[in-house]
Amino acid sequence: MLPGIEKINPDLSLLTPQLIVLGLSLLLLLIDAVVPRWRGAVMAYLTLIGYAAALVATFFMFDMNESTFYGMIRADDFSAFVNVIVLVAGILSVLVSINYMTSRAEPGSMPVPEYYALISFSILGAMIVGAAGDLVIVFLGIEMSSLAVYALTGFARHRITSLEGALKYFLLGLFASAILLYGMAWTYGATGTTNLSEIAAELANYDTSGNIEASLLLAVLLLIVGLGFKVAAVPFHMWTPDAYQGAPTPVSAYMSVIPKAAGFAAMVRLLVQALEPLADEWTIIIAILAVVTMFFGNIVAIAQTDIKRMLAYSSIGHTGYMLAAVAAYGASASIDDDLSVTSLLFYLLAYAFMNIGAFAIVTWLQDRGRGVDLSDFRGLASQSPVAALMMTVFLLSLTGLPPLVGFYAKYYVILATVDAGMIWLAVAIVLASAASAFYYLRVIATMYFAEAEQPEPVGSTPWLGAGLLAMVAGTILVGIFSGRVFDLAQGWVDALTIIPG
Amino acid sequence: MSTEVLIFDLLAVVAVISALGVVLARNPIHSAVALVVTFINLAGIFVMLHAEFLAAVQLIVYTGAVTVLIVFVIFLVRVNDLPEFYGGNPVQRAFAVLIGLALFAEVAAAILTRSALGSTGPWTSEVIAEAGGNVQVLGQLLYTEFSIAVQITAVVLLVGTVAALVLARPDSALLPGRGKRTGLISLGHPRGTDREVAAALPASLEASRRGEAPGVRFDDRGVVLVDNAEVFTESTAWGGDRLEEEE
Amino acid sequence: MDELSATHFLLLSAALFIIGMMGVLTRRNVIVIFMAVELMINGVNVALIGFAWEQNSMIGQSFALFVIAVAAAESVVGLGIIMALQRRIDTVDIADIRQLRE
Amino acid sequence: MDSLPILSMITYAPLVGAAILFFASRADAEMSRRIALAFATISFLLSLAMLIAFDVNEPGMQFTEHIEWLPGVGVNYDFGVDGVSALLVVLTTLLSLIGVIASGSITHRRREYYITLLLLETGMIGVFFALDLFLFYIFWELMLVPMALLIGVWGSANRVYAAVKFFIYTLAASLLMLVGIVAVYWENINQGNDPTLNILDLAAVQYSDDFQFWVFLAFFIAFAVKVPMWPFHTWLPDAHVEAPTVGSVILAGVLLKMGGYGMIRFNLSLTPDAAEDLAPYIIALSVIGIIYGALVALVQPDMKKLVAYSSVSHMGFVTLGIFAFNMQGFYGAMLVMLSHGFVTGGLFLCVGVLYDRAHTRLISAFGGVVSRMPVYAALFGVLMLASLGLPGLSGFVGEFLAIVGAFTEHRWAGAIGMAVVILSAWYMMWLFQRVVLGRAAGEPPDPLDGALQSGSVPAVAGGQGVADHGDEWPVDEHGVPQWPDVTRLELIAIVPLVLLSIMLGVWPGPFMDVMRTTLESILVPFGSQGV
Amino acid sequence: MSDLLFLIPLLPLIAAAVNYIFGRWYLRETSAYIATAAVAVSFALSLGVFIDQLGSDDPLRQHLYDWVPAGLFHAPLNLYADHLTAVMLMVVTSVSLLVHIYSMGYMQGDPGYYRFFSFLPLFVFSMLMLVLADNLLVMFFGWEAVGLCSYLLIGFYFRRHSANQAAKKAFIVNRIGDFGFSVGVMLLFWKLDTIIFEQLFDRLDLLSTNTLTVAALLLFTGAVGKSAQLPLFVWLPDAMEGPTPVSALIHAATMVTAGVYMMARLYPVFSASSDALLVIAIVGALTAFIAGTIAITQFDIKRVIAYSTVSHLGFMVFAVGVGAWAAAIFHLMTHAFFKGLLFLGAGSVIHGMHEEQDMRRMGGLRKYMPTTHLTFLIAAASNAGIILFAGFWSKDEVLVGGWLDERYILTFVMFGAAFLSSLYIFRAYFMTFWGEERFDAREVHPHESPSIMTVPLVILAIPAAIIGFAGFPPEDGWIHDFLEPNFTTEQRSEEAASAVAVFQAEDEADEHHVSTAMTLTFGAISTLLSFGGLGVAYLAYVRKHPAFSPTVWAARAGPIYQLFANKYYLDEIYERLIVHPLYWFSEQVLWQIVDIRIIDGAVNGVASVVNYSAAQLRRVQTGFVANYALAIAIGAVIVIGLALAFQSDLLN
């Protein structure tokens, strides 16, 4: 009874955005080798065009719920939305990077051509995670994304701190990957399959009313730990501040969003989709992690004076909010109304605009020869009012102040948590937000209330400027017109449909 | 106790001991050797588990490529300078052991209480034999069910290559033309690091600081800008870019 | 424990995994840490293949294959980082590589 | 929304002004001022028109606007105005207009200043119009930033601390309200209703007692901080002292009112049972605040701090009146809010007038201002009297009604609260005496001073402290700087407030007519007498 | 007539506003004429009201507008004039008019001339509003407004610290009374749902006696403040910082009697509670006596008169307390004239002595200022209760009232007060107008005041001398008949009526059938006391009889004299026991500790805790990768351990 070797006939159209990005990455590598003179700006244009094309393709991917490659690849609204998040974040990151790469902000020179290729690969990895229908694909996607980011972190190879960040990120990433893998192995061992839908189907037969078998729970927990590392949940967050601080600023901006998005996509795929029957067990764990994370991140951020490090801790805090969104899963009577992942996805999109925006302003200052310390922001409002205003918008949005997108994001998360009956979690979110106002406001206060000490920042960064405009517009408008976005995100429930491989 | 178990025990014990060797050996070379031993033992266990192809891969990839790579790096970073020590302070070590034991207890508890799923897959040894063996079946699977995974893995490997290239390739490969270059030398940092401040500057630099040496400028960060960096690389103690190695 | 069962392999895998983990936790030489992680990954592989053996499925073996491949890619990147770092500061001791802190 | 969206026009006129100013980067200070003035005036005139067209016999919302916004989560753009908000909006637009007029002394970053002011106005008006809880929350938080900027950028010495404290304090409190909003949203849905955040729909739902208790607290703390109620008041003195004059005016005149407004609009309608259950505690806190604020005001060395603590005291009457649950209390609370807007706004302007001349606000630095600035003294005097609750001026009607309302429900609270008439007279008159009356530092005493006291009280010369007068003003032979009397602009700013506070005291009828039917309808769930 | 009622208060108000706004730059001297004319027209209209009321028992009413229409708490601005009001209107407008005229001379050349003639009509307006009010809130408006005017006029010389202090003190002390008054108002409203007098009286039988007592006492607190009773009279002597016409008008004739008027107006409330009345009587008697004792030790002419005022207010309050309502109003009326005259006379003296107020630096002035002397003498006689003068009749009735109410001890105290009032006023008279000239004749040239000042004195002297005959024959004079409707309770419900009826029957029996013998006896006692005081003063200050030497007596009395001279140390006691502790408490406890340390400390403490934990927690990030991995491992172990323990089947 040998299964005959059938001609595999995958529906590659379901992978259109991914294929576009893959093609782009290969093209970039090729150009580097063949037409070295096109290095720099031309590659950036190409990258932007490629992402835009993938984004456009993604919009045709909504309202689908199919799988291909023996169920290894899912094309549902969840994967489409993840694509939107990472591609938007990718476009923004590239816009932030272009001028930085050629500025003298980093010592020595950087291998620019590979930069865009690596970013594209990383984005591809994240998109693959979003579309994954199998543990193997989740793993491969995460690794692809991570490997590229390790290299990007150490991209300023002449700066020791950059390499140090890369090393730490890498070692711990490897460590966490091993844990994640172990969890996957246990999942496989408990269910006999690696297909996410099949795992869910398998577990659905399992009696989850009482206590869970230890080995099954171990699998869940190892997965949570591994994923917790990827999304920087406390206490698995330790790499975050060092890596963010060490990496070149555009890379920090990039990795504050896309690996996090990949991590959360994996979390949704693994926990929500595959381990859905065990939701009662993991929601509470995630909820506790969420509270610890949001408080730790937001409180330690207060003590930071290095803006990048501060934003790193802030991103840990935001991970807490997003974890809260995940923890809110499973409360609604009708799964179609479940807001947990909807709010998570919206949060990630919002976060892309505001957090990359904040890093972009840091980049903007670095491009003009300033450092990344809080004192470098002194009196910015009087020297460059527009930049200061933009930074204010981003920071206030991160604080969660209406009518900026950060508020809507947080609101939806609170909506989800309260719906899940976790009022305490909602209260924790708002208290942590209040604490976060401390340090966000300190930057604003430094820009507006302090006297300038350094000479006026001069320089020309047209691409960065365009990116900043886009991000400010996004930060203001995405929230106000969040209705449609929210509807799109609500399509994630597709992922719960069981499509066996 | 069957022979199988005996063999397994033998292999397992050796593997664990050599694994401990990896962790405990003072000399990293010894660690590397112990690692190879572990890998070989694991290959044996893989064979026991009817994973012949994986056993081969284990030998080839790990004992072959990876270990060689490791040793290569060890040589690269000069064996004599390798630190021979255990982890930091005793508290950390104690904690590590404690945590390790605790985790092991947890995992072992899970292992011992688990209810086996049983044989759910179709690939009994007979079926495999009928299909032509482990390698054939694996190959078939890789070309069907796992075809996309194989392709993604290919990309991952490509990414790994590019990433390593980006990090490890020397600067000179990046910069077109090797003629007149402006090098950056940090005076405050011995051996090119950012960590310590040099106790005393070489005499030639003192001269240049006074503006007597031609082709040298200071900028306000305490960094020397030189027209010809090679002039200042007589001592590796504070040569920033090890330019002499690339010559 | 008379018959060879998955429990054996799982215990071995756990042992390897945890020994590797302790290596990561205790060693200061980056390269040794790196080796310890490889140990952990091998532990995982043992588990994967053990489960596959127990269940008569080939999925575990295939998975393990990808794990080995990815581990190789990771080695490359890791060693690249080590080399780049080693080029700047002549050390592989992680206690020396801690400018980024607090 | 068939008719003209007048409420939106009122709300966004300042925003348009701010946008124009933002892009008109070439506008100089004078131009900025004119633009700001124009849009603040437009908003004010529109709000007046709205008030004229307002139907006082209609208890419900008027001029409502409805646009679907985020249907998925029940959020709509709902605007409306009733008897409670109508007056407060006009107060807001008026004080904003006066704020623009009175901003002459701002010297740096004037364009940004007016942008901030106009943004603030939009936020404040929106709070009063918004009927959707989500929209309300947006406006509620929206005004935080401009206010914090006003304090932080254009404030005095310790401004950063004050701005940050103001921001975080109020933010922390209002974030809990957000949780409350969400909780109400779900509870409404759980009861089988359509998702909505419209306050009118949500108020129609009966919530369980336990639920009401927590939701009440969530809302109440946000509002109590804004009011500010004892013991949530400590941000206020700092904010007031550091804020520029106009910031203080708007802070006292409008921002504090939002607390009271929020309690009436949300706490009472959403959680009437909890409100009734908790009323005794709130009444107790109010009374503590009333007396406490007055006592602490008594010993303040700084004029603005004194007025700030007096605000704590006055605003205690608002909560006192609201939680008496009768017509007198409601009227009292509303009238106190209006009166406090006029009077305290005016007082801060008065303090600002002096500050612009002497560059200090320390009471001890002044004395005998009346001899140099008689018109100023008269205006200050009327406001001082209105503040201490003299019948016939605005403070009295509201405070008395609030206490009457409280007294009929809680005897001791009313009686103790009434005792503040003594203290308010004390601190206000003492302030007036030390600053306006008497003599300036350096002036010789009157020969007949203390003649009656049979030598037991020594003749006292003018204020003891020394203000840093600089060379700005000419001095007379005693070294007393000859400050000019109020300028025309200052007069234009202060006189309307003085007139309004007289009008509110002498003839509060029109004001009460506007709010009557609305207040009666709010009172319905409390089944109280007193119609 | 009732349609014109509103003009009575309005005209002075307009005058006040016009003078205040335009006075400084445009009107200047003219302001006095405007004010005087306005008050004169008010006086004329009041006369009309009075004449109207003479022949009518129907009160005049006018509804102006709804002032505070807050549901049940409905306070319309209604004007109401009955007999009591008519009497008050006459007193207020006539004395006001005369004081206005007098002030034109007295205030001549003062830089605040226009201000004076703005505040003075403002006061008239306020007082008229108080008198004309038909509900508690409007009355309270007038009540507070006169307080304000008092504040403005006491502090008229605002460049004097002492004047400012006195003004503030007057207002604040008054506010203590107002506090009680307003709580009383609220109590009545709470119980009866109305604050309009007539409705209030109709519903009074709904109240228990206890409530009535409390309400009456609370309202009386207002009177204690306004009418300067014990223990709140301390503001009145200090109020003499104001210009003398102000003292005459506000602090003698009108404002201070507002408390008595209020109690008369609320007669049904007060008369229904005998306990409250007893308290009132005691307070009145003690005030009358104690103020008298202080007055005999003062040297400042205005202070003597001021304490005399306090003492006489005590008489009125005592009269109220013993149920001699008509007597109280009667005394109020006579007192208004003679005390106003005394102050104006004193003002004339001060004016003639170049602002000298100390009697020790006067003496023998009768030859310099004969008109003043004569009018002052008339007023003093009236004040002392010399027979036939106005004060005699009214004071006599108060004493008889006390006796009839069987408050014998209090009545004896009042005898003492009556003796003292004769003693101190003649002491002042003799020290001022008789004896040697103790002033420095080189610098001070005493002179008679101009006729603009003396004419009002003369005019005022007429009622001060003869108005007493309005109450002749005693207990049954015209004034009694006229006020009769105000002081009878009507329309009480059945049960309450029966209870009250008995009381009332006794009351009426006593009051309206006073025996001639008793009248004569009391007349004799009064006369004896007044002449006694006169005699002692004469012996002591004119004849310098050694047995009556003030210095000797002062030395002999020792501490008691000091007690009197220092007004029982009341100011000091208040300062030490209330003012200072309050400041200390507010500043050191409430502000520095509660506010800054505790409340704000908690707020900042939260911030500090957060900052501190941030500073500590950041150290977790050691930069050492092994530590990071350890953190991950520990986290994993804890998470796995806890989850396995609680959620798995391992332990459960």
The full 3-state SS of D188-239, as one line of letters, equals: HHHCCCCCCCEHHHHHCCCCCHHHHHHHHHHHHHHHHHHCCCCCCCCHHHHH
Beta pairing class for B223-226 and B216-218: antiparallel
Chain E CB contacts of D371 below 8 Å: 159
Chain A CB contacts of C57 below 8 Å: 192-193
Grouping H, G, I as helix, E, B as strand and the rest as coil, residue A402 is coil
Residue B232, pLDDT above cutoff 70? no
> Is D175's CB within 8 Å of A426's CB?
no
> Is B152's CB within 8 Å of A144's CB?
yes
pLDDT at B199: 45
In the block, tokens 């909506």 appear at: A415
User: For residue A170, what are the domain limits?
Assistant: 5-497
Q: How far is B10 from chain A (nearest CA, A)?
A: 24
> Is A182's CB within 8 Å of C30's CB?
no
Q: How far is D52 from chain E (nearest CA, A)?
A: 21
In angstroms, the CA B69 to CA D489 distance is: 82
Sign of CA pseudo-dihedral A13, A16, A22, A25:
positive
pLDDT, average across residues E544-568: 82
Nearest CB to A430; choose among D148, D163, D175: D175
> Is B92's CB within 8 Å of E626's CB?
yes
- Is residue D506 within 8 A of residue E9, CB to CB? The reply is no
pLDDT at A141: 95
Chain B CB contacts of A136 below 8 Å: 146, 149
pLDDT at D250: 93
Closest residue in chain D to residue A431, using alpha carbons only? D172
Mean pLDDT of chain A: 89
Lowest-confidence range among A225-234, A276-285, B225-234, D485-494? B225-234
In angstroms, the CA B225 to CA B217 distance is: 5
- Work out the percent of chain E whose per-residue pLDDT is above 70: 96
* Interacting residues of B152 by C-beta distance below 8 A, sequence separation 6+: A128, A137, A140, A141, A144
pLDDT at D401: 92
Closest CA to D54 of D124, D91, D97, D6: D6
Asked if A touches C (at least 3 Cβ pairs < 8 angstroms), the answer reads yes
Helix runs in E538-652, H state only: 550-557, 559-565, 570-574, 580-584, 600-617, 625-647
Mean pLDDT of chain E: 86
The answer for C 7-46 residues in CB contact with E (under 8 A) is 21, 24-28, 33
Q: Is C58 on the interface with A (CB under 8 A)?
A: no
Q: How far is CA D427 from the centre of its chain?
A: 20
Cβ-Cβ pairs closer than 8 A, A with D, add up to 93
Mean pLDDT of chain D: 88
Q: Residue E299: pLDDT band by 50, 70, 90 thresholds? A: confident
Q: Is B108 on the interface with E (CB under 8 A)?
A: no
| Tens-place pLDDT, residues A367-418 | 888 888 999 999 898 888 899 999 999 999 999 988 899 999 999 999 999 9
E80 — phi, psi (to 5°)?
-145, 125
Closest residue in chain E to residue A288, using alpha carbons only? E639
Closest residue in chain C to residue B165, using alpha carbons only? C80
Mean pLDDT of chain B: 73
In angstroms, the CA D97 to CA D89 distance is: 12
Nearest CB to B106; choose among E634, E637, E649: E637
Dig out the tokens for E78 from the structure.
């209604």
Nearest CB to A147; choose among B121, B149, B160: B160
pLDDT at C44: 94
Chains touching C by CB (3 or more pairs below 8 Å): A, B, E
The answer for A 456-495 residues in CB contact with D (under 8 A) is 482-483, 486-487, 490
Dig out the tokens for E17 from the structure.
């506003």
pLDDT at D15: 93
pLDDT at D376: 92
- Work out the percent of chain D whose per-residue pLDDT is above 90: 50
Residue E303, pLDDT above cutoff 80? yes
Angle made by CA atoms E641, E642, E648, in degrees to the nearest 5: 85
**What's the Cα-to-Cα distance from A431 to each of A483, B33, D442, rounded to whole Å?**
26, 54, 54
Dig out the tokens for A50 from the structure.
């490629």
Closest CA to E345 of E261, E462, E453: E453
Q: How far is A412 from chain D (nearest CA, A)?
A: 9
Which carries the bigger pLDDT value, residue C30 or residue B152?
A: B152
Q: How far is C31 from chain A (nearest CA, A)?
A: 10
Residue E553, pLDDT above cutoff 60? yes
In angstroms, the CA E237 to CA C46 distance is: 104
Closest residue in chain B to residue A2, using alpha carbons only? B131
C-beta atoms surrounding A10 within 10 Å: 14
The DSSP 8-state label assigned to residue B62 in this structure reads I
Sign of CA pseudo-dihedral A417, A422, A423, A427:
negative
C-beta atoms surrounding D43 within 10 Å: 29
Q: Is the ipTM of this complex over 0.85?
A: yes
Q: Is E642 on the interface with B (CB under 8 A)?
A: no
Chains touching A by CB (3 or more pairs below 8 Å): B, C, D, E
Cβ-Cβ pairs closer than 8 A, A with B, add up to 116
Q: Is C87 on the interface with E (CB under 8 A)?
A: no
DSSP A302-333: HT--BHHHHHHHHHHHHHHHHHHHHHTTT-SS
Asked if D touches C (at least 3 Cβ pairs < 8 angstroms), the answer reads no
Nearest CB to E629; choose among C24, C99, C101: C24
Sequence length of chain C is 102
| Tens-place pLDDT, residues D351-381 | 999 988 888 888 888 888 888 898 999 999 9
Helix runs in E193-300, H state only: 197-203, 209-226, 235-238, 244-248, 258-265, 267-271, 274-295
In angstroms, the CA D226 to CA E109 distance is: 53
Asked if D touches B (at least 3 Cβ pairs < 8 angstroms), the answer reads no
Closest residue in chain D to residue A441, using alpha carbons only? D164
Q: Is A6 on the interface with B (CB under 8 A)?
A: yes
- Is residue D161 within 8 A of residue A442, CB to CB? The reply is no
Lowest-confidence range among B179-188, D39-48, D277-286, E386-395? B179-188
Q: Is E621 on the interface with A (CB under 8 A)?
A: yes
pLDDT at B130: 85
Domain count, chain A: 1
In the block, tokens 């205005």 appear at: E302
pLDDT at E250: 87
> Is C37's CB within 8 Å of A174's CB?
yes
Q: How far is C99 from chain E (nearest CA, A)?
A: 7
Nearest CB to E624; choose among C21, C24, C95: C95
Half-sphere exposure of residue E318: CA atoms within 13 angstroms, side-chain side: 38
pLDDT at A100: 87
> Is E644's CB within 8 Å of B87's CB?
no
Closest residue in chain B to residue C43, using alpha carbons only? B42
Q: Residue A22: pLDDT band by 50, 70, 90 thresholds? A: very high
Q: What is the pTM of this model?
A: 0.89
In angstroms, the CA D104 to CA D245 distance is: 10
How deeply is B21 buried, as exposed, middle or buried, from its count of CB atoms within 10 A (0-12, 13-18, 19+)?
Answer: middle
**What's the Cα-to-Cα distance from E426 to each of A149, A261, B126, E345, E498, rounded to whole Å?**
107, 101, 140, 14, 49
Nearest CB to A396; choose among D137, D145, D214: D145
Closest residue in chain E to residue B99, using alpha carbons only? E634
Closest residue in chain D to residue A339, using alpha carbons only? D73
**What's the Cα-to-Cα distance from D190 to each of A424, D205, D359, E69, rounded to whole Å?**
19, 11, 59, 43
Residue E391, pLDDT above cutoff 90? no
pLDDT at B192: 43
Nearest CB to A188; choose among C48, C66, C102: C48
Give the residues across from D198 on adjacent strands: D132
Dig out the tokens for A220 from the structure.
């869940």
Grouping H, G, I as helix, E, B as strand and the rest as coil, residue C93 is strand
Most trustworthy range by pLDDT among B227-236, E59-68, E121-130, E445-454: E121-130
pLDDT at A55: 95
pLDDT, average across residues E370-391: 88
Q: Is B246 on the interface with A (CB under 8 A)?
A: no
